[in-house]
């Protein structure tokens, strides 16, 4: 989603800003822009589309030599993705970039229009610029910003320049923003990866704090007083933008799955480490997350209830945060997030913490808000994911759930097998990934279709949800996931001649039931496709994907990668922008 970088120092400002924007590209955006200043004039250059287009424009149009500036990648929220709505925005003396959503911007805009302000864009961000400009008329900068903070409702991270002032200002609420500290240069950024090439020292800004950056010093103020803050050191290696010879990050990241999975399983093969996975103290679990992370949670729910004897409910974070919570003394809230910056998941986590319930986060980004704030964390350590569609991070989330259910069930005396059964999964996963030709062939049979279904029961339904999401997000082929037995209660009316219905079968007990449901769709003309494990495969007359058998705790980790590859090849055949699907962002930092 939107990204911010700001720089003040001796280097060529546009170089630093562009590098930062390139590093933020993976988050998803639809326009980009910079504002630079030479201590006198401010020059704003924006473009719709990729940062490379902005770079071309800067090379052609930029006239000033600057030592400070701010830059932004925008993922449209208020107002369409066009040049006028792209950031930075300038009104009066104020130039700014903004991440987040100002919820009372319509009201503020109305008042400002009455006071004579004119607006060019449809954005809420321009309203912030106008409001600050208004307060600057009678106040010094810090007072004006404090008045601004009082008026704004919603979420924001702001990087601000004021005419003839030669400083950068930064403030935030609910959207992340940090201050990077260098030698005779300082930075601001929404994500450490934007500046890690220059410095690993940073300070996290908290709501109501205002950072003032100059070339050789920085100051932070809260409620009008200067405060000292801890300087943190990041061990982020930055974004490895290389594709390692693959044509897409998505493929590269899928192919990394066996390695990162092995690393995770090896870590928890140590009994001491495994204690962190034991949830036997809890009677009830709420799993809260968004998108694929929530679907990993659905797998977790099935495993917890089946093998660890813990009642588990899965909620989308956007619903959970506004629902009445019913906790007992032994409830655990598990948050799941690759980025650790998903706005709804953060808000749900903070609510749970405030209500004094135990929280545990399964999170990939160690520098993220969720990793910092959750009661306990389990890092998946999948490494950075660049493709918008999550693949390796999802598999590791599922693996953590499987290991948790297994460890808890074992400690409760419900499971006889040994943890070592996890060790064989990475090698079996390699076999799944080797069958590229089969996925390509199947993709050829599907890619021209208009719509398709994924059906399954129990844990297989959870896998259907992820398979279906992956397919639609990267290939734009309409797809629905359904509990196999539920289809005939209405939705089967959508089944048409030739429509692919992909039936997932890993649960032996439910195999015959799911097959009957698949047959019901075939009787109405569907193209039945089966995804199953070797031990259950007796499907001679079907198009099918067969993965190696492993165990009821680990089958999911072999089935979903096959579906990820199928989606990849369908998207490739349909000519889609696989790593950056339309309308999507990697890190969803607004509600
Ligand atoms: O960073 P998070 O795991 O919190 O992100 C949650 C969802 O936005 C994410 O899983 C999304 O659904 C992906 N595009 C799925 O591939």
pLDDT digits (tens, 9 = 90+) for 254-289: 999 999 999 999 999 999 999 999 999 999 999 999
307 token code pair: 């093998």
pLDDT attached to residue 188: 96
Q: Would the pLDDT of 374 be above 80?
A: yes
Segment 404-444, tens digit of pLDDT: 999 999 999 999 999 999 999 999 999 999 999 999 999 99
Percent of the chain topping pLDDT 90: 84
| pTM reported for the whole predicted model | 0.84
Residue 589: what pLDDT? 75
pLDDT of 352 over the 90 cut: yes
Domain ranges of the chain: 3-233, 243-434, 435-575
pLDDT at 236 over 80: no
Q: How far is the CA of 436 from the centre of ligand 1 (A)?
A: 25
Confidence (pLDDT) at 586:
78
Residues 6+ apart with CB under 8 A from 78: 85, 101, 105, 122, 123, 124, 125
pLDDT at 432 (0 to 100) = 97
Residue 420 DSSP class: G
Best CA proximity match to 223, nearest among 136, 134, 143, 133: 143
Contact call for residues 553 and 427 (beta carbons, < 8 A): no
Ligand 1, atom 12, lies closest to the CA of 291
DSSP output for 143-199: HHHHHHHHH--B-EEEEEEETTT--EEEEEEBS--EEEE-SSEEEEESSGGGTTTT-
pLDDT for residue 242? 80
Does this chain's domain 3-233 share its CATH topology with 243-434?
no
Residue-level pLDDT at 40: 82
Closest ligand 1 atom, CA of 587? 1
Q: Is 164 or 589 the better-scoring residue by pLDDT?
A: 164
How far is ligand 1, taken at its centre, from the CA of residue 589, in Å?
11
- Where residue 391 falls among pLDDT bands split at 50, 70, 90? very high
User: What's the average model confidence in pLDDT over 46-75?
Assistant: 92
Q: What is the C-alpha to C-alpha distance for residues 465 and 295, in angstroms, rounded to an integer? A: 6
The candidate with the shortest Cα–Cα distance to 196, out of 238, 155, 163, is 238
pLDDT at 35: 97
| CA distances, 133 to each of 35, 43, 89, 129, 139 (Å) | 17, 18, 12, 6, 10
pLDDT given for residue 20 in this prediction: 95
Q: Has residue 169 got a pLDDT over 90? A: yes
Using the predicted structure, report yes or no on whether residue 541 has a pLDDT greater than 90: no
Give me the DSSP letters along 217-260.
-EEEEETTEEE--PPEE----------TT-SSHHHHHHHTHHHH
Q: How far apart are CA 215 and CA 194, in angstroms?
A: 18
Task: Report the CATH number of the 3-233 domain.
Answer: 3.60.20.10
State how far the Cα of 189 lies from the Cα of 224, in Å rounded to an integer. 23
Phi and psi for 502 in degrees, rounded to 5? Answer: -95, 115
For the chain, the maximum distance between any two Cα atoms, rounded to a whole number of angstroms, is 80
Which whole number is the average pLDDT over 171-194? 92
Pocket of ligand 1 (CB under 6 A): 290-293, 337-339, 342, 345, 388-390, 473, 584, 587-588
**Which residue, by CA, sits nearest to atom 10 of ligand 1?**
292
Q: pLDDT band at residue 326, thresholds of 50, 70 and 90?
A: confident
Going across the sheet that includes 376-379, the strands are: 311-316, 284-289, 331-337, 358-363, 376-379
The band of 200, judged by pLDDT with boundaries at 50, 70 and 90, is very high
Q: How confident is the model at residue 38 (pLDDT cuts 50, 70, 90)?
A: confident
Ligand 1 atom closest to the CA of 388, numbered from 1: 14
Q: How many helices (H) and strands (E) does the chain have?
A: 18, 25
Question: Which residues participate in catalysis according to the annotation?
Answer: 2, 586
Comparison of pLDDT for 433 and 245, the residue scoring more: 433
User: 71 and 34 in contact (C-beta within 8 Å)?
Assistant: yes
The pLDDT assigned to 473 comes to: 96
Atom 14 in ligand 1: which residue has the minimum CA distance?
Answer: 389
Per-residue confidence (pLDDT) for residue 325, from 0 to 100: 87
Residue with tokens 């209405």: 490
**Of the ranges 78-92, 149-163, 188-202, 577-591, which one carries the lowest mean pLDDT score?**
577-591
pLDDT of residue 185: 96
pLDDT over 70, % of the chain: 100
Q: Whose CA is nearest to atom 9 of ligand 1?
A: 291
| Ligand 1 centroid, distance to 471 Cα (angstroms) | 14
pLDDT digits (tens, 9 = 90+) for 488-514: 899 899 999 999 999 999 999 999 999
* Average pLDDT of the residues in 72-84: 86
Do the beta carbons of residue 393 and residue 373 sit within 8 Å?
no
Give the per-residue pLDDT at 587. 77
Mean pLDDT of the chain: 94
Mean pLDDT, residues 582-586 taken together: 82
In this prediction, residue 142 carries a pLDDT of 96
Whether the per-residue pLDDT at 182 is higher than 90: the answer is: yes
Beta pairing partners, 526? none
pLDDT at 134: 98
Q: What is the CA radius of gyration of the chain?
A: 25
C-alpha neighbours within 13 Å on the C-beta side of residue 398: 31
Quote the pLDDT of residue 1: 72
Tell me if 68 sits within 8 A of 216, measured CB to CB: no
Per-residue pLDDT tens digits for 466-484 = 999 999 999 999 999 999 9
Ligand 1 centre from 393 Cα, in Å? 10
What CATH number matches the domain at 243-434, 1.10.1060.10, 3.90.650.10, 3.40.640.10, 3.40.50.10490?
A: 3.40.50.10490
Can you name the CATH fold of 435-575? Answer: Rossmann fold (3.40.50)
* Cα–ligand 1 centroid distance for 370 (angstroms): 14
The length of the chain in residues reads: 591
CA of 291 to the centre of ligand 1 (A): 5
DSSP code of 102?
A: B
Q: pLDDT, tens digit, for every residue of 286-301?
A: 999 999 999 999 999 9
The dihedral over CA atoms of 8, 13, 16, 18, expressed in degrees to the nearest 10, equals 130
The answer to whether the Cα torsion of 241, 247, 586, 315 is positive or negative is negative
What is the CA(519)–ligand 1 centre distance, in A? 33
CA distances from 99 to 147, 188, 206, 484 (A): 19, 13, 15, 41
Cβ-based neighbours of 110, under 8 Å, separated by 6 or more = none
């Amino acid at each position: 989603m939107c990204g911010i970088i700001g720089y003040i120092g001796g280097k060529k400002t546009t170089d630093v800003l562009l590098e930062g924007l390139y590093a933020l590209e993976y988050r998803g955006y639809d326009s980009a822009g910079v504002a630079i200043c030479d201590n006198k004039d401010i020059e704003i250059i924006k473009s719709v589309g990729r940062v490379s287009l902005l770079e071309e424009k800067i090379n052609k149009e930029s006239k000033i030599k600057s030592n400070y500036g701010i830059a932004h990648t925008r993922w449209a929220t208020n107002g369409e993705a066009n040049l006028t709505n792209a950031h930075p925005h300038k009104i009066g003396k104020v130039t700014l970039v903004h991440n987040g959503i100002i919820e009372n911007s319509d009201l503020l805009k109305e008042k400002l229009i009455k006071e004579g302000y004119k607006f060019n864009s449809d954005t809420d961000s321009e309203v912030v610029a106008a409001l600050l400009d208004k307060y600057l008329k009678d106040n010094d900068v810090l007072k004006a910003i404090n008045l601004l903070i009082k008026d704004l409702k919603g979420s924001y991270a702001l990087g601000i320049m004021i005419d003839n002032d030669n400083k950068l200002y930064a403030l935030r609420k609910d959207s992340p923003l940090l201050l990077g500290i260098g030698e005779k240069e300082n930075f601001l950024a929404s994500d450490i990866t934007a500046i890690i090439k220059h410095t690993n020292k940073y300070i996290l800004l908290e709501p109501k704090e205002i950072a003032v950056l100059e070339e050789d010093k920085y100051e932070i103020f809260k409620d009008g007083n200067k405060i000292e803050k801890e300087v943190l050191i990041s061990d982020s290696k930055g974004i490895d933008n290389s594709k390692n010879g693959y044509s897409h990050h998505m493929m590269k990241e899928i192919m990394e799955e066996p390695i990162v999975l092995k690393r995770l399983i090896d870590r928890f093969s140590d009994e001491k480490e495994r204690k962190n996975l034991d949830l036997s103290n809890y009677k009830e679990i709420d799993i809260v997350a968004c998108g694929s992370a929530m679907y990993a949670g659905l797998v977790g729910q099935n495993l917890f209830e089946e093998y660890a004897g813990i009642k588990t409910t899965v909620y989308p974070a956007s619903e959970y945060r506004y629902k009445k919570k019913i906790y007992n003394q032994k409830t655990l809230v598990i948050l799941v997030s690759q980025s650790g910056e998903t706005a709804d998941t953060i808000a749900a986590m903070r609510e749970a913490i405030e209500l004094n319930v135990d929280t545990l986060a399964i999170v990939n980004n160690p520098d993220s808000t969720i990793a910092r704030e959750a009661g306990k964390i389990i890092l998946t350590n999948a490494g950075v994911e660049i493709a918008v569609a999550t693949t390796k991070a999802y598999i590791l989330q599922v693996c953590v759930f499987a290991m948790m259910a297994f460890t808890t069930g074992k400690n409760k005396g419900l499971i006889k097998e040994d943890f070592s059964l996890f060790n064989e999964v990475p090698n079996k996963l390699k076999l799944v990934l080797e069958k590229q030709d089969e996925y390509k062939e199947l993709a050829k049979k599907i890619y021209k279709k208009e719509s398709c279904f994924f059906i399954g029961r129990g844990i297989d339904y959870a896998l259907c949800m992820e398979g279906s999401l992956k397919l639609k997000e990267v290939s734009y082929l309409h797809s629905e996931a359904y509990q196999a037995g539920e289809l005939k209660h209405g939705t089967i009316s959508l089944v048409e001649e030739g429509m692919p219905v992909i039936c997932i079968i890993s649960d032996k007990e439910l195999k015959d039931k799911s097959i009957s449901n698949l047959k019901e769709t075939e009787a109405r003309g569907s193209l039945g496709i089966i995804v199953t494990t070797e031990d259950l495969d007796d499907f001679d007359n079907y198009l099918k994907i067969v993965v190696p058998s492993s165990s009821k705790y680990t089958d999911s980790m072999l089935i979903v990668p096959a579906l990820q590859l199928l989606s990849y090849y369908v998207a490739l055949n349909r000519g889609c922008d696989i790593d950056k699907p339309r309308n999507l962002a990697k890190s969803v930092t607004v509600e």
